[in-house]
Amino acid sequence: MSLVTRCPGCATAFRVLPGQLAARNGQVRCGKCNAVFDGIAALVDAARAPKPAAPPPEPEPQDDTLAQDEPLPQFLAEPPPPRRALWWSLTALAALMLVVQILLHFRAEVAAGLPMARGTLEAACRLFGCELRLPRQVKLLSIDSYDVRPDPGRDGVIVLNAVIRNRAPFPQEYPALQLTLTDEENRELVSRWVLPREYLEPGRFAELVARGIEAGGEAALSVHFDASRTRATGYELVLFYPS
């Protein structure tokens, strides 16, 4: 059974159901003037409620068309979508963005460990403006052996011989080296960087750089330095990747 309640502010009549009035103890908001009123106290006889005017050719409207052109009271409007669905959508989007950031940050390691993902990562890098290179985990590199000795054929020239080992389960970029010469009191006299282009074979440079140091593999190098202006008695060798 439907009832009719009238807004005391603008006299607009609305058709309601008893259950709708009971849902909020009868309190409703007028859809026309936004006034809040007691829908139970404002109930009127449906037969006495005004009916909207109709053009002459149309039949006289019945009680079921009451206030059909008026806005509905607030409790009759369709409820908004639950906030929980929006919250889950935002959470899923945030989780997806986090996964993408992690994959891009470790893209070199992922591409090395999962070759089938390389194409996808290359496409992502084109989109985000990044570069897909070999991994650069310097902590997984070590110097198995090295020595610095005078060059027997040239005065004042020293020779650095070293073997770099890649302890990672994936190929890595060739690192740079920093050679520091010290005096008797271990004070730094001179320091120099050695980049891969200086110790890799010139004729195979592009090939070697593209391939990197294989997983569990090693790279031997030999580099000459002019130390004629120093009286070094000690040295130190460090691996690093330039930023």
* Domains of the chain by start residue, with CATH: 3-76 (no CATH), 83-128 (no CATH), 138-240 (2.60.40)
Q: What percent of the chain is modeled with pLDDT above 70?
A: 80
Q: Which long-range contacts (CB under 8 A, 24 or more apart) does 78-82 make?
A: none
Instruction: Dump pLDDT digits (tens) for 90-113.
Output: 888 888 777 777 766 677 777 766
Contact 149, 159 (CB under 8 A): yes
- Spatial separation of the C-alpha atoms in residues 218 and 167, rounded to whole Å: 9
Q: Residue 193 carries which DSSP code?
A: E
pTM of the model: 0.52
Mean pLDDT of 216-228: 90
pLDDT band at 138 (very low <50, low <70, confident <90, very high): very high
Pick the residue with more confidence: 222 or 25? 222
Pick the residue with more confidence: 18 or 47? 18
Count CB-CB contacts under 10 A for residue 146. 15
- Spatial separation of the C-alpha atoms in residues 104 and 124, rounded to whole Å: 8
Determine the 3-state secondary structure of 92 from DSSP: helix
Bridge partner residues of 163 (DSSP) = 145, 220
Pick the residue with more confidence: 77 or 172? 172
Query: Residue 28: enclosing H or E segment and its boundaries?
Result: strand 27-29
